Amino acid sequence: MSELFIILIIVAAALYWRAAAQSKEIAADAARRECNLNDVQLLDQSVNLIRLSASRDHNDRWRLWRAYRFEYATNGEDRYIGRVSTLGQKVTRIEMETFGPLVH
């Protein structure tokens, strides 16, 4: 019985890790795309998880809501903050400090 429990925990952790990695890649792609559209430079080419919670999607199913932070520059000197929010594997909002928020 305890061996089965340990295997289930390992499988659950692996599934969570995989979903988290996919969500982070989706957020990074959205940040890159938004920076390209606004003709600014994405710094460090990465996003960082800043918030995680459970929330319901439009079909009333529970999903993990994640907020990511990224930095960008308009002229190569000043750093600005941007945020990407995902619900499950879907981008729901992109905010950039020097531009208005984009809601999907």
Burial (Cβ within 10 Å: 0-12, 13-18, ≥19) of residue 16: exposed
Numbers of helices and strands, H then E, in the chain: 1, 5
Predicted local confidence at residue 102, as pLDDT: 64
What pTM was estimated for this model as a whole?
0.85
| pLDDT by position in tens, the chain (length 104) | 789 999 999 999 999 999 999 999 999 999 999 999 999 999 988 999 999 999 888 889 999 999 999 999 988 778 999 999 999 999 999 999 887 666 65
Task: Delimit the domains of the chain by residue range.
Answer: 2-103
Predicted local confidence at residue 2, as pLDDT: 87
